[in-house]
């Protein structure tokens, strides 16, 4: 599914949070959004996730305007932008099963899907823990797993590297590469060149306006 942005810009309180930007990302391709703190990376991802309406220009996924209120848009786009939703009294495994079931997997399929993802991300030791029992990097793994456990055609990831050690970065990169090679469209904002190089991403460099 193609991500298409034309002259999108965001002004907040009269100041440019995102200077006008245009690009297109085809299925199976990855775009790495880079730039200094405050350059507008998160703002751009919030526009793509349909959480923020651009002040000018447009953003579409598969020809559909980015709008999180649109159920069809939500079905296509899995976004990790901001803190992951977490319920105090659900374990890591219960979170993942809940999301898998919510997006239509039957109970047996959901268990298989979650088991597979837990192995892929090396989270076997975390399944019985509650959110408050996780370290920063472990919370990030949960956030990534919650994004990957549901079906989607487009992945939006804001700083996927947050809190991850070198080994985990390699593990997550392999998981994302597999999805890109399977035809998913990936847009990520990152300060870590390994995510750009490791995914063969085209680069979009933003500068603070």
Ligand X SMILES: Nc1ncnc2c1ncn2[C@@H]1O[C@H](COP(=O)(O)OP(=O)(O)OP(=O)(O)O)[C@@H](O)[C@H]1O
- Of 9-17, 109-117, 134-142, 195-203, the segment contacting ligand X by CB under 6 A is 9-17
- Exposed (0-12), middle (13-18) or buried (19+): which is 63, by Cβ within 10 Å? exposed
Rounded to the nearest whole angstrom, what is the least distance from the CB of residue 151 to ligand X in the complex? 27
Closer to ligand X by Cβ: residue 147 or 190: 190
Q: Which of 40, 50, 131, 198 binds ligand X (CB under 6 A)?
A: 40
Q: How far apart are CA 106 and CA 100, in angstroms?
A: 8
Closer to ligand X by Cβ: residue 110 or 196: 196
Query: Binding pattern to ligand X, positions 82-111, x when CB under 6 A?
Result: ------------------------------
Q: How far apart are CA 124 and CA 154, in angstroms?
A: 26
DSSP assignment letter at 9: E
CA 31 from chain centre, in angstroms, equals 12
Q: Which of 42, 152, 171, 190 binds ligand X (CB under 6 A)?
A: 42
List the structure tokens of 141: 């793994």
Rounded to the nearest whole angstrom, what is the least distance from the CB of residue 162 to ligand X in the complex? 10
- Are the beta carbons of 143 and 168 closer than 8 angstroms? no
Rounded to the nearest whole angstrom, what is the least distance from the CB of residue 130 to ligand X in the complex? 28
Place of tokens 């991500």: 3
- Of 41-49, 56-64, 149-157, 194-202, the segment contacting ligand X by CB under 6 A is 41-49
Bridge partners of 190, per DSSP, are: none
Q: How far apart are CA 151 and CA 184, in angstroms?
A: 10
Q: Which of 12, 53, 72, 178 binds ligand X (CB under 6 A)?
A: 12
- Of all residues in this chain, which one has the CB nearest to ligand X in the complex? 17
Rounded to the nearest whole angstrom, what is the least distance from the CB of residue 12 to ligand X in the complex? 4
């Amino acid at each position: 599914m193609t991500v298409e942005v034309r002259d999108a810009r965001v002004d907040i309180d009269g100041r440019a949070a995102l200077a006008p930007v245009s690009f297109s990302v085809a299925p199976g391709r990855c775009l790495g959004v880079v730039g200094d703190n405050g350059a507008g990376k998160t703002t751009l991802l919030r526009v793509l996730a349909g959480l923020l309406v651009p002040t000018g220009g447009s953003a579409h996924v598969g020809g559909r305007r980015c709008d999180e209120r649109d159920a069809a848009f939500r079905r296509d786009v899995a976004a990790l932008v901001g803190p992951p939703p977490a319920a105090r009294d659900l374990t890591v495994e219960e979170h993942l099963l809940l999301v898998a079931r919510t997006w239509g997997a039957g109970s047996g399929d959901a268990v298989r899907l979650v088991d597979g993802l837990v192995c892929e991300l090396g989270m076997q030791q975390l399944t019985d823990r509650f959110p408050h029992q996780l370290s920063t990097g472990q919370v990030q793994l949960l956030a990534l797993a919650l994004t990957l456990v549901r079906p989607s055609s487009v992945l939006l990831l804001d700083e996927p590297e947050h809190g991850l050690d070198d080994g985990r970065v390699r593990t997550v990169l392999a998981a994302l590469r597999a999805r890109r090679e399977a035809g998913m469209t990936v847009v990520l904002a990152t300060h870590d060149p390994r995510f750009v190089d490791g995914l063969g991403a085209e680069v979009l460099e933003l500068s603070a306006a």
